[in-house]
């Protein structure tokens, strides 16, 4: 039997949890990573060099690489605040930016670096051009820039992307559409709904490919609500937003955690952008997805509530096995 082809779409904080566990399975992996980040080190580098931001790509590269732990620590090292122009920049971001300048694009850089670091699978930026994320709120107000969205007090209605440095319609990176169409499974998330997952899905070519693919499309719903994005959201609300942006019921399966997050974790949360546990709404989910998998996917770590990659991937492998 051939290896299942699995494409994971999202940002550099959420999807590495899944990718690290997927690496242990006998599957062909493709990661499609958001390029709308405009804050911190990535924002500075994209502004100065007009390149697709490297930060999310860096984290995915580490997740899929077999590099020794010490190499990873070097690659992820962040310069101290007193280090002048280098302050706050992870060394890996500078390496990606340097190789991108040398080879003409971040896309080309990632293809070289995946070989250099012996990664399992392919890594593609969702677009070969840096994108600007726009959020339109329920009150009609529009915020421009991913890093600015959480600061506006309101509920997001929808998001869209534009090319940052030209007026052309955003397009998918080469090979991304083919990867989606040829996959046996597409995994969306986990990750920030409006700022990590949707910036990929609203690129017209990617949206169309998701509607056309015969792959099983699975969404890994967030465990916690997020400040400025999904406050007071149920899991069904998350899926309804995806449906609204994609235009129809493109989600086949939703994976939701139903293990209780201890109150102490929410009261003493070091990750202040996360608020409370997402409420489970099984009947609401069934309106938008053919299948709902409710289980314990919880991993409590470093003062935060995260997905346990092994538990999620176990369910994904069961699913893709029935789809082949």
Residue 273's pLDDT is 61
Residue 198's pLDDT is 98
User: What is the pLDDT tens value at each position of the chain, 324 positions in all?
Assistant: 789 999 999 998 899 999 999 999 999 999 999 999 999 999 999 999 999 999 999 999 999 999 999 999 999 999 999 999 999 999 999 999 999 999 999 999 999 999 999 999 999 999 999 999 999 999 999 999 999 998 999 999 999 999 999 999 999 999 999 999 999 999 999 999 999 999 999 999 999 999 999 999 999 999 999 988 999 999 999 999 999 999 888 999 999 999 999 987 776 555 556 678 999 999 999 999 999 999 999 999 887 889 999 999 999 999 998 777
The answer to whether position 80 is within a domain reads no
Residue 212 phi/psi, 5° resolution? -95, -25
The answer to whether position 265 is within a domain reads yes
pTM higher than 0.75:
yes
Residue 267's pLDDT is 62
Q: How far apart are the C-alpha atoms of 68 and 302, rounded to whole Å? A: 22
CATH code at 242? Answer: 3.40.50.10680
Residue 275's pLDDT is 78
The answer to whether position 109 is within a domain reads no
Nearest to 17 by CA among 214, 320, 305: 305
Residue 62 phi/psi, 5° resolution? -65, -40
- Which residue range is the domain that position 26 belongs to? 5-37+124-323
The answer to whether position 115 is within a domain reads no
The answer to whether position 157 is within a domain reads yes
The answer to whether position 87 is within a domain reads no
Residue labelled with tokens 């992820």:
76
Beta bridge pairs of residue 186: 7, 217
Q: What total number of domains does the chain contain?
A: 1
- CB-CB contact of 6 with 208 (8 Å): no
The answer to whether position 213 is within a domain reads yes
The answer to whether position 81 is within a domain reads no
């Amino acid at each position: 039997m051939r290896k299942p082809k699995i494409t994971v779409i999202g940002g550099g904080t959420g999807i590495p949890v899944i990718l690290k566990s997927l690496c242990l399975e006998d599957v062909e992996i493709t990661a499609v990573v958001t390029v709308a980040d405009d804050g911190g080190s990535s924002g500075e580098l994209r502004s100065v060099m007009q390149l697709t931001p490297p930060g999310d790509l860096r984290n995915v590269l580490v997740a899929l690489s077999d590099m020794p732990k010490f190499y990873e620590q070097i690659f992820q090292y962040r310069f101290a605040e007193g280090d002048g122009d280098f302050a706050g920049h992870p060394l890996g971001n500078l390496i990606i930016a340097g190789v991108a300048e040398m080879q003409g694009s971040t896309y080309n850089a990632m293809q070289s670096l995946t070989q250099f670091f012996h990664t399992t699978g392919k890594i593609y930026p969702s677009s070969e051009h840096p994108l600007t994320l726009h959020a339109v709120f329920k009150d009609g107000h529009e915020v421009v820039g991913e890093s600015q969205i959480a600061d506006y007090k309101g509920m997001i209605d929808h998001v869209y992307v534009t090319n940052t440095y030209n007026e052309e319609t955003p397009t998918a990176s080469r090979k991304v559409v083919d990867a989606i169409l040829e996959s046996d499974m597409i995994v969306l998330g986990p990750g920030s709904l409006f700022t990590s997952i949707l910036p990929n899905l609203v690129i017209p070519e990617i949206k169309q490919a998701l509607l056309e693919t015969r792959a099983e499309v699975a969404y890994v719903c967030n465990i916690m609500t997020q400040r400025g994005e999904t406050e007071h959201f149920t899991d069904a609300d998350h899926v309804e937003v995806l449906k609204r942006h994609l235009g129809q019921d493109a989600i086949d399966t939703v994976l939701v955690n139903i293990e209780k997050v201890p109150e102490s974790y929410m009261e003493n949360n070091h990750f202040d952008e996360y608020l409370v546990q997402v409420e489970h709404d099984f009947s609401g989910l069934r309106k938008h997805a053919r299948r709902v998998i409710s289980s314990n996917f919880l991993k409590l770590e470093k003062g935060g509530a995260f997905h346990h990659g092994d538990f999620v991937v176990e369910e994904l492998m069961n699913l893709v096995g029935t789809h082949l």
